[in-house]
Chains A and B, each alone.
Chain A
Amino acid sequence: MIDHFPWTAIPPEDEALRAPVRAFLQATLTTTPPAVRARSWMGFDAAFSEALAARGWLGLTLPVAYGGGGRSPFARFVLVEELLAVGAPVAAHWIADRQSGPLIVKYGTEAQKAFYLPRICQARAFFCIGMSEPNAGSDLASVRTRAVRTENGWRLSGRKIWTTNADKAHYMIALVRTSGTPEDRHRGLSQMIVDLSLPGVTISPIEDLTGDRHFSEVAFDDVMLNDDALIGNEGAGWEQVTAELAFERSGPERLYSSVVLLDEWLRTLQADQEEFTAGDIGTDVDRPGSADAARAPCAADTHTDRASRRTLGALVAELVTLRAMSVAVTGKLARGESPIVEAALVKDLGTRFEQSVPTQVGNALGADPLMPRDADLDATLAYVQNIAPSYSLRGGTREILRGMIARGLGLR
């Protein structure tokens, strides 16, 4: 396990995608305040998604035959990294692009692929994930939403909750029981593509502690589905969901959820630094031809400055390392492997890092109560520190992930 993260470089042809994406974002997101961009991939903007689609940046890893880019996971990694770096509003297409599309490629019929994939690539079909229920969170196998066979398809009843973007999505891919009872657990589960505009679907957005309504409860009351709502095989829902979660957990978004806050803090530290620039104060790392690594403290340095540098340095050291691990996981995906345990390891370590950012930045800002505060930084911190618990709840809680890692270590 420990040796499972080989040093991996992003291939040049995929790295080449970075510059045009960065240029587009720099031109496009000029007026969005940092506190809004701190919503990260939960910011919804259908027009923005359409603009990405027009550039061929949606469905990068989906097959060309269906309108996708046919690119490798590395290409998507580069694109996603640049989008997250600035907190671009990608929510509309995010889930379809990240997991629903790949799921349909892997398990869909020809008709399903031909219908959904082009629409996903054109930002015309937005998806959400129907997994958790009021009584089934970490214990996903205990879901009770039920699809009963009818002459032409299925009748769906039950409820899903914590469904991000359900109120704005066209479709949900829902994990439901199609045979047996909840006591059968993993057996008898299937996945259905549910058109959320059908009669019997009721979506109720839920306000979160920051005032946003990013997730919803969705009730199904005898929703009539056609035969082709079933994706994959009946009864194979559990394996399909496991594969889908591997897609969900393996991207760089488990590192960058709080990066907009970190950037805002860096901006203020750099502004402060300009006031003290006075020749070489020996703050550069040891490098050929530069100052000695063993620097003497500068008279202009305050205790707060040095503490801030140390805090920032520790966070950056963690992030650089995590990012290298995430690229290594991407390399495994690109080789056709299924790095489920490695992805869980990076997610647990990554979300803990993401959560430590508002804690550390908060402490740095509070270290001098007399210091004037930057309004943008304050607003960004206020949002991030309160939503941060969600980073380690969504996509699998840390207790579940640590259990998966333990299994991977051979402890079970």
Chain B
Amino acid sequence: MEDMLSASIAPLLADLCTPVQLREIERDHAAPALWQALQESGFLDALVPEAAGGAGLSLDALAGVLIAFGHAGMPLPAAQTMLARQWLAAFDVPRPAGPITLAFASGSIDGTRSRNTHVPYGKVSDAILLETPDGVYLDDRLVKKRAAGSPSLLGFAALMSAASMAGAMSRIFEITMTQANERQQFGRSIGKFQAVQHQLSVMAEHIAAAHMAVRLACATPEGDNASLNRAIAKSRASHAAPLIADTAHALMGAIGITAEFDLQHFTRALRAERLHYGSEGYWDEIIGAHVIAHWQSITSGVVDTARCS
């Protein structure tokens, strides 16, 4: 927790996202204490402009918080609500108080819901902000019409997931490192074995990369490169997710696949989030198409992704 914003939300997450509480929330599909605390913290309106009653913070400032959500195993769509409230504020639509999740569907809606739309956090949400090609709906109500060329929330939703995944990866790594240093076999901790060390080193590499990609995307000023970097963040995190989850389970042994042990909460979340708002396959294709259409050369394009002005 290196920045002030992450530090300020840390106690809330520590108090209200304990392993016991996470299990209860998953069982009951409800977390009133957690939601109330998030509401009172002001973080749910962090992206909403000050003029509309929010904190008017940037994604760059909030990157650590978004990652912290994933590290804590946030069971509610806090980040999605932040995005939804920002979007609703932009169109002067009253913002619901409860959890809002984001969903995307390809079919048109004429007052009827699309079938079998995947809705992350659907069971713990009070409202769904649904984007289709022809409009954005808050539950059944059309809030904003869309046409070809309208801006989409999908890339932002993907970035929220990428940040959550980076946090979950860190948590998974901490659990695995503890095991490596404490579990004794053959008269020494298993972390003394080269095969184990190398697997942990590779995990660390990919986790560092996922964090970097998220930070880069959050720090890029809005524009073409920001869109591209959001795609890159989700691609990079999603590519890494199976390796992180698989390696952690390989090193934890049988206890790691029990319900009682905490690792599973985070590896299940990581695997699920890999598919939220586009897996690596989806975003890779978009990145590749963009590169083919717009880049003069590989290096000049790569350099441009990090331009601050």
Binding site for B on A (CB under 8 A): 1-7, 9-10, 18, 22, 81-82, 84-85, 256, 259, 262-263, 266, 269-270, 273, 280, 283-295, 306, 308-314, 316-325, 327-328, 345, 348-349, 399, 401-403, 405-406, 409-412
Q: Which residue of B lies closest to A10 (CB)?
A: B306
Contacts known (A266-B291, A324-B306, A345-B208); A406 close to B201, Cβ less than 8 A: yes
- B20: min CB distance to chain A, Å: 26
A/B interface sample: 6 pairs, CB < 8 A: A4-B208, A283-B289, A291-B148, A320-B229, A409-B200, A411-B200
- A386: min CB distance to chain B, Å: 21
Asked if A2 and B173 sit within 8 Å, CB to CB, the answer is: yes
Asked if A284 and B133 sit within 8 Å, CB to CB, the answer is: no
Q: Which of B232, B289, B302, B308 contacts A284 (CB 8 A)?
A: B289
Contacts known (A285-B155, A316-B287); A406 close to B197, Cβ less than 8 A: yes
Asked if B236 and A318 sit within 8 Å, CB to CB, the answer is: yes
Interface size bucket, B side? 35 or more
Q: How far is B133's CA from A402's CA once the two chains are assembled, in angstroms? A: 47
Within 8 A of A (CB), among B95-148: 104, 106, 133, 146, 148
Asked if B197 and A402 sit within 8 Å, CB to CB, the answer is: yes
Contacts known (A85-B299, A283-B289, A314-B239); A402 close to B202, Cβ less than 8 A: yes
B187 within 8 A of partner (CB)? no
Asked if A316 and B288 sit within 8 Å, CB to CB, the answer is: yes
Q: Which residue of A lies closest to B210 (CB)?
A: A321
Q: How far is B34's CA from A32's CA once the two chains are assembled, in angstroms? A: 63
Interface centre among A2, A6, A349 (most CB of B within 10 A): A2
Q: Which of A294, A316, A345 contacts B301 (CB 8 A)?
A: A316
Interface centre among A1, A328, A409 (most CB of B within 10 A): A409
Asked if A294 and B200 sit within 8 Å, CB to CB, the answer is: no
Asked if A284 and B154 sit within 8 Å, CB to CB, the answer is: no
- B171: min CB distance to chain A, Å: 11
Q: Which residue of B lies closest to A5 (CB)?
A: B212
- B151: min CB distance to chain A, Å: 5
Asked if A320 and B216 sit within 8 Å, CB to CB, the answer is: yes
User: Which B residues are in CB contact (< 8 Å) with A405?
Assistant: 201, 204-205
Contacts known (A85-B298, A292-B150, A310-B285); A324 close to B212, Cβ less than 8 A: yes
User: Which B residues are in CB contact (< 8 Å) with A9?
Assistant: 306, 308
Q: Which residue of B lies closest to A252 (CB)?
A: B299
Q: How far is B180's CA from A81's CA once the two chains are assembled, in angstroms? A: 38
Asked if A316 and B302 sit within 8 Å, CB to CB, the answer is: yes
User: Which of B22-30, B42-50, B81-89, B276-284 makes up part of the contact surface?
Assistant: B276-284
User: Which A residues are in CB contact (< 8 Å) with B274?
Assistant: none
Q: Which of A5, A306, A319 contacts B285 (CB 8 A)?
A: A306
Asked if B232 and A316 sit within 8 Å, CB to CB, the answer is: yes
Q: Which residue of B lies closest to A309 (CB)?
A: B288
Q: Which residue of A lies closest to B228 (CB)?
A: A285
Interchain residue pairs A-B with the least CB separation, the first 4: A309-B288, A313-B288, A313-B287, A283-B289
Given contacts A293-B155, A313-B289, A403-B198, 9 further A-B contacts (CB under 8 A): A85-B298, A284-B294, A293-B286, A306-B285, A316-B287, A317-B231, A321-B209, A399-B198, A411-B181
Q: Which of A4, A317, A319, A399 contacts B284 (CB 8 A)?
A: A317
Q: Which residue of B lies closest to A407 (CB)?
A: B197
Mark B209-244 against chain A: 1 for CB-CB distance below 8 A, else 0. 101110110010011101111111001100100000
- A15: min CB distance to chain B, Å: 8
Contacts known (A2-B170, A325-B209); A284 close to B202, Cβ less than 8 A: no
Asked if B152 and A293 sit within 8 Å, CB to CB, the answer is: yes
Q: Which residue of A lies closest to B199 (CB)?
A: A402
Q: How far is B297's CA from A262's CA once the two chains are assembled, in angstroms? A: 9
User: Which B residues are in CB contact (< 8 Å) with A273?
Assistant: 292-293
- A250: min CB distance to chain B, Å: 15
Interface centre among B202, B208, B229 (most CB of A within 10 A): B208
Asked if A259 and B204 sit within 8 Å, CB to CB, the answer is: no
Asked if A81 and B299 sit within 8 Å, CB to CB, the answer is: yes
User: Which B residues are in CB contact (< 8 Å) with A401?
Assistant: 201
Q: How far is B194's CA from A23's CA once the two chains are assembled, in angstroms? A: 48
Q: How far is B205's CA from A317's CA once the two chains are assembled, in angstroms? A: 15
B149 within 8 A of partner (CB)? yes
Q: Which of B106, B197, B287, B303 contacts A285 (CB 8 A)?
A: B287
Asked if A403 and B197 sit within 8 Å, CB to CB, the answer is: yes
Q: Which of A82, A321, A409 contacts B216 (CB 8 A)?
A: A321
Q: How far is B297's CA from A353's CA once the two chains are assembled, in angstroms? A: 18
Asked if B289 and A321 sit within 8 Å, CB to CB, the answer is: no
Q: Which of A22, A286, A316, A402 contacts B298 (CB 8 A)?
A: A316
Q: How far is B293's CA from A325's CA once the two chains are assembled, in angstroms? A: 26
Q: Which residue of A lies closest to B202 (CB)?
A: A402
Contacts known (A286-B227, A345-B205); A263 close to B297, Cβ less than 8 A: yes
Interface centre among B219, B280, B302 (most CB of A within 10 A): B302
Q: How far is B187's CA from A299's CA once the two chains are assembled, in angstroms? A: 63
Q: How far is B154's CA from A349's CA once the two chains are assembled, in angstroms? A: 29
Q: Which residue of A lies closest to B283 (CB)?
A: A313
User: Which A residues are in CB contact (< 8 Å) with B152?
Assistant: 286, 292-294
Asked if B286 and A259 sit within 8 Å, CB to CB, the answer is: no
